[in-house]
Structure 1
Amino acid sequence: MGFDSTAGSQTKPSRFGARHWQAILLFLGMVINYFQRVNISAAIVPMTQSTAGAPFYDWNTSDKSLILSSFFWGYVLTQVPAGLLAKRFGAKSVLTVATSIGGILCFFHPLAANGGWINICVLRVLTGLVQGSVYPCVHTLLSKWVPHTERGFLSTGVYSGAQFGTAIILISSGEIFESSMGWPGLFYISGGLGLAWAILFYWQGADEPATSRSISKVEREYIEGLTGSNKNSQSLAVPWKSIFTSAAFYGLLAAHCGFTWGFYTLLTEMPTYMSSVLKLNVKSNALLSSLPYFAMGVLCFVFSPISDMLINRGTLTVTTARKLFNSIGLWVPMACLIGLGYMTADQKSGAIVLLTLAVGINAACFCGYLVNHMDLSPNFAGPMMGITNGLAGVTSIIAPLIVGAVISDEEDPAQWRVVFFITGGIYLLCNTLFVVMGKGTVQPWNDLTSMSSTMTLRINFQTESTTTAQTVSQIDRF
């Protein structure tokens, strides 16, 4: 199966279009949703330090690890259901409702903390439940809105919102902590912005080009001819058996799990590492913790146009490009983490450089596994993202718990070295599986209707051929 045969004749609109506006809205949505997701990682340090100038709580390392992992207990449960809901009722509605609920939950975090860390865990589970819809919904929308010739740049641009959101919340948290609001202000701001974005997206967002009120006919035909998504994909049954027997799917799953393990290990534990090992104060910690994510966001816009250019010029096949950029995004950070394991408080600058590279170069994966769902199946990109992101989310639960089990003394660099080595080993294994099994072509099960039609034509042709042969034989005998 491939793209529409008329795709090559599509006229590309030259001006800023509806697809770009939708991408900007989704970029902002990723920023806001990562505010809701990351605020606890930034706040956990001042929440447990008496010098932060706000209420503080005597939570040990194990308690904090449970708090940081509890988000993913809910997150993994709603991935597949969210993908199916987005396919059935429209990703716009599901994403709008989920972001609104997540914003409301943010307001209750400061109150819940007064009742103990278990209350915070409950809120984080609920936040995870609604946040589980984000990636399946965004992938569903991108599969409808992004032409395959622009898939690397526009999709990566949208998902870079996760990195910019992480960086913004971390860099601004230092100022918020020192303001009159203290750490509770981080949750109030996250909640308010979530509600504001939901209103904007409900007003301006669209599920697909056909339902957009501001798109031109030329742009609509251009997008619909180059997405590879069936116009009737909402009515197509998900080919679960074909997906779960596809080697390409398992290669994609491995890459997704490897990236997620490393990303969330560093995201949830970096503020603690910088505070305990590198001896940085709250404000410096917040500033430097944000640097790797700014680097990652910027590098998204470096890797993605290079990837699209190499593919569109025919220099690399889609499959080769996906594997190459995913390897850059996991194996270079693996080397950085090995080096980081030997850094001490006296080597702050070197440690910060390695951390920045370890996270920043992960951006290459956005041109690798992250768009591969749409390569394999534009019609079922959302449900597939639900599957891989849900299973990868299990690693997000395990990773902080393993950190809590490995580290008994947060100031011991040798214990952090074990954490970094484990992460590097997972990067090595998971990307190797992607290189061996991954593909970048549309799979036959993307459109079972066309498959059925092809099989019917083949059967009819064989039947007609048999009938004709029998008739000729009878004539000969006569």
Structure 2
Amino acid sequence: MWQDHFGMRNNNDVVHWSHNERKMWVIFLFLVTTILYAARVAMPVCASALAKEFGWNKADLGVVMGSFFWGYLTTQLLGGYIADKIGGDKLLCFSGIVWGLLTAFTPYVAHLFLSHPKHALLVLTLLRVLLGVSQGVHYPSMMSLMSHKIPKNERSLPNGIITSAANFGTVVCGGLGSFVLEAQGWQDVFYLIGGIGLIFTYLLKIFSQRPRVSERREHFPLGKKNDSSKLDSVPWKKILSKSPVWCLIFAHICANNCFYILLSWLPTYFHEKFPNEKGWFYNTVPWIMSVPASIFSGWVCDKVIHAGWSIGHARKLMQGIAMYGSACFGLLFPFCSNFYAAVLCAGMAVSVHTFHNSGVLVNAQDIAPSCAGSVFGISNTFACIPGFVGVYLTGFILHVSGSWFVVFLYMALVNVVGGFAFIIGGSGERVV
């Protein structure tokens, strides 16, 4: 009963969601991930209002916003390991409660130090670190959950739908958050997003606890003791000795470098090149375009697998489109003199990059299904590095060269190298 309560799995039992269960799980995971990303970008959306209220400069804002990744990278590996042991659904619920509460209580904590701006800066930086810590387990938990509950040749579409919530959450907070900010103030942005996050997490918890007679019967057959010993220790030495694992990690780092450059610097690029255009337009349209693109990539990937392609070739096709496509559109940016052409180019760069969601992002489930959360945790830990190193390097390039072409050339070169490494050395076969 202890093992049943904590979701410990028999490594020999593979129990997948039914078709209806899979649809419901995809919906719930999409919604929770959308709000998770909205909570993540609430601080950037409210940055100007916070700076005005507390008298912060841009350096102060940079400290607060950048501190998220210092917490985020600390729980990737631990989150994947725990999810593989007790079940990703349980860790998702626990994580959602924590980051929901942290988001909702941010205004209250900030106003405790309203008369001490530097103290408020320190406290909000700590809250952002803790938000990163709590959200760091989310993706490894989802990858672990899907690797156990969805057949390997049918994971691309669900993964594409769920991971598209990242971009959708950015749009939601950029649109709805901006409206609430102007109408009510920055405090209500955090209250609203934190409250919705807690509600969705509670609904996910209730849904995950629904009894499933067939699952329990297969997990615990009569007269057979459930053996979870194989999950007590992850074979780290074996994992880290496999070249497909390192090709996955390297490609993940390169892909994230592209994503963080687009996420962090596109607003500045448009502001400088098209100063008279509306910020809400160029800050939302590219990300809106990317949501159906992510879903489409998952659909295409599953189709080519069912058409006879190997899983490895399908993953490499998706990753190649993601990295070479976004590199090509990135190089076109500096030559777009028309605003709408530039927005379209940005939208295409972000959209083709979402093919990564059906490539490297799901590959840990292929090569290490029994410990997918742990392998994804390793990969995503390394892939967090461009969140502060790559973004800083981009700013340095701009400062030294003053050229956006050099920035996007750097992005394209990293993409080409990462895509080549995965195409040559990646795999879709189980290696762990």
**Range into which the TM-score falls when normalised by the shorter chain:** 0.7 to 0.9
Q: Secondary structure at the match of 1:441?
A: coil
> Are 1:363 and 2:354 an aligned pair?
yes
Q: CA deviation at 1:100?
A: 1.5
> Are 1:265 and 2:261 an aligned pair?
yes
Q: Secondary structure at the match of 2:430?
A: coil
Question: Are the counterparts in 2 of residues 23 and 157 from structure 1 also a CA contact under 8 Å?
Answer: yes
- Ranges in structure 1 where 5+ consecutive residues have no aligned partner: 207-211, 224-229, 446-478
2:302 paired residue number: 308
Give per-residue Cα distances to partners, 1:253-280, cap 9 Å, x unaligned: 0121112111122223333433344225
Q: Which amino acid aligns with 1:250?
A: W
Query: Which of 139, 151, 155 is 1:151 aligned to?
Result: 155
For residues 367 and 160 of structure 2, the distance between their equivalents in structure 1, rounded to whole angstroms, comes to 17
TM value normalised by structure 1: 0.78
For residues 236 and 376 of structure 1, the distance between their equivalents in structure 2, rounded to whole angstroms, comes to 19
Give per-residue Cα distances to partners, 1:136-163, cap 9 Å, x unaligned: 1111111122122321111211212112
When residues 334 and 56 of structure 1 are mapped into structure 2, their CA distance, relative to the original with a 3 A threshold, is farther
Query: Which of 121, 130, 133 is 2:134 aligned to?
Result: 130
Q: CA deviation at 1:406?
A: 3.7
Query: Which of 192, 196, 213 is 1:189 aligned to?
Result: 192
Give per-residue Cα distances to partners, 1:25-51, cap 9 Å, x unaligned: 111111111111122233335545x6x
Q: Which amino acid aligns with 1:332?
A: G
Q: Which amino acid aligns with 2:414?
A: I
Q: CA RMSD in A?
A: 3.1
Identity of aligned residues (%): 27
1:452 paired residue number: none
Query: Which of 224, 235, 245 is 1:249 aligned to?
Result: 245
Aligned runs of 1:202-351 on 2, under 5 Å? 202-205=205-208, 213-214=211-212, 232=228, 235=231, 237-279=233-275, 284-314=278-308, 316-343=309-336, 347-351=338-342
Query: Which of 146, 150, 154 is 1:142 aligned to?
Result: 146
1:449 paired residue number: none
1:455 paired residue number: none
When residues 63 and 234 of structure 1 are mapped into structure 2, their CA distance, relative to the original with a 3 A threshold, is farther
For residues 85 and 177 of structure 2, the distance between their equivalents in structure 1, rounded to whole angstroms, comes to 38
For residues 167 and 156 of structure 1, the distance between their equivalents in structure 2, rounded to whole angstroms, comes to 17
> Are 1:18 and 2:21 an aligned pair?
yes
> Are 1:172 and 2:185 an aligned pair?
no
Give per-residue Cα distances to partners, 1:377-402, cap 9 Å, x unaligned: 11010001110001111221212322
Q: CA deviation at 1:347?
A: 2.9
Question: Are the counterparts in 1 of residues 63 and 125 from structure 2 also a CA contact under 8 Å?
Answer: yes
When residues 200 and 11 of structure 1 are mapped into structure 2, their CA distance, relative to the original with a 3 A threshold, is closer
Question: Are the counterparts in 2 of residues 18 and 214 from structure 1 also a CA contact under 8 Å?
Answer: no
When residues 354 and 46 of structure 1 are mapped into structure 2, their CA distance, relative to the original with a 3 A threshold, is farther
Query: Which of 43, 46, 52 is 1:43 aligned to?
Result: 46
Q: CA deviation at 1:233?
A: 7.9
Q: Which amino acid aligns with 1:334?
A: A
Question: Are the counterparts in 1 of residues 16 and 149 from structure 2 also a CA contact under 8 Å?
Answer: no
For residues 215 and 355 of structure 1, the distance between their equivalents in structure 2, rounded to whole angstroms, comes to 49
1:85 paired residue number: 82
When residues 278 and 187 of structure 1 are mapped into structure 2, their CA distance, relative to the original with a 3 A threshold, is farther
When residues 403 and 203 of structure 1 are mapped into structure 2, their CA distance, relative to the original with a 3 A threshold, is same
1:354 paired residue number: 345
Question: Are the counterparts in 2 of residues 334 and 427 from structure 1 also a CA contact under 8 Å?
Answer: yes
Q: CA deviation at 1:58?
A: 4.4
1:59 paired residue number: 57
Q: CA deviation at 1:184?
A: 3.1
Query: Which of 412, 418, 426 is 1:424 aligned to?
Result: 412
- Ranges in structure 2 where 5+ consecutive residues have no aligned partner: 1-10, 220-225
> Are 1:379 and 2:382 an aligned pair?
no
1:454 paired residue number: none
Question: Are the counterparts in 2 of residues 65 and 400 from structure 1 also a CA contact under 8 Å?
Answer: no
When residues 152 and 287 of structure 1 are mapped into structure 2, their CA distance, relative to the original with a 3 A threshold, is same
> Highest CA radius of gyration, 1 or 2?
1
Deviates more, 1:184-193 or 1:432-441: 184-193
For residues 285 and 134 of structure 1, the distance between their equivalents in structure 2, rounded to whole angstroms, comes to 30
Q: CA deviation at 1:216?
A: 5.8
